[in-house]
Structure 1
Amino acid sequence: MKKVLIVLLMAFIIIQFFPIDKTNPTTNQGMDFLKIKNTPEPIAKIIRNSCYDCHSNETKYPAYSYIQPAGWLLKNHIDEGRKELNFSTFAIYEPKRQVHKLDEAAEYVEQKKMPLESYTLGHSDAKLSDEQRKQLINYFRMVQKQIQETNRL
């Protein structure tokens, strides 16, 4: 038993030498969802607090990201989140894709799939009240409708 613990401790120490890359991609404010849609500040604050760490190029890495394997899991989660929806590059999406992404975002917020419970455990300010959920859903739906009308989708 003692040997197993020593091996596990050594493995834990060794994996600390393989940190994640915490460099955020360059942001262009002209492509950011909050800027291009002129999002009202109260809604923008909710989106920044509850969505931007995983769904933008403005991730703020917490202290536990320096400890492996937690950092690896976190980095994978962030990469997947950006792949699904990246608010920092929203302007490059085709209008049809923008509509689809906003529809998904509204659905996930409504079904309480977002923000993830695992995220809100460590980030209590990201937890959404029922009122905040309604505000986000209504905002995403409103912007979705504007895009559809503007582009005749």
Structure 2
Amino acid sequence: MSRRAAARRVVVVGGAGLVFVVGLMQLVPYGWTKTNPPVTADAPWPDAESEAIARESCYSCHSNETDWPAYSYLAPMSWLVRRDVDRGREELNFSEWGERSDAGDAADEVEDGAMPPRQYTVIHRGARLTEDEARVLATALERMDDEGG
């Protein structure tokens, strides 16, 4: 067998194996269910600007108003998205304000540049915060925290 034929065989067999493994991944049920529970208590945004920034940069993981992108239906991305949304809602949920709301910690995360996370903003470029947007959002979160959020 020539080198070219051997290389072609490796590519074909490897590609078929990859397709098979990705197909098997689709059978793992984690990430299949994508829910947006009802909004029970909207976050009390102090102004429209901060709310608009939060909706663009935070709500996909930190609310019950998640926009489930097409890639969230295919493993292994579905697993990652589901995990991120579950964790985000657990930490801070703008749709269930007052139940577990710690806007002060969220403001610190925004000020430190930890939120929104880089792995999210790489794909969702509109979620990236400018310095001014981060300042507006952090100030609003601190104000909401001071008002009992």
Q: How much does 1:20 deviate? A: 1.8
Q: Which residue of 2 aligns with 1:52?
A: 59
Q: Give the 3-state SS of the residue equivalent to 1:142 in structure 2.
A: helix
Report the counterpart of residue 32 of structure 1 in structure 2. 42
Structure 1 pair 145/91, CA: closer, same or farther in 2 (3 Å)? closer
TM-score computed with the length of structure 1 as normaliser: 0.80
The aligned counterpart of 2:16 is 6
Task: Provide TM-score, normalisation by structure 2.
Answer: 0.82
- Greater per-residue helix proportion: 1
Aligned position for 1:71: 78
Query: Structure 2: where are the runs of 5+ without partners?
Result: 1-9
Distance 1:140 1:10 in 2: 47
Give the AA of the match of 1:25: P
Native 8 Å contact 2:45 2:140 kept in 1: no
Aligned length: 137
Of 8-17 and 39-48, deviating more is 8-17
Q: Distance in 2 between matches of 1:144 and 1:23?
A: 27
Structure 1 regions of 5+ residues with no counterpart?
A: 149-153
Provide, for residues 69-109 of structure 1, a one-character-per-residue CA deviation record: whole Å limited to 9, x for no partner: 1111110111011111111111334xxxx4xx111111000
Q: Is the 8 A contact 2:64 2:93 kept in 1?
A: yes
Shift of 1:23: 2.0
**Amino acid corresponding to residue 74 of structure 1 in structure 2:** V
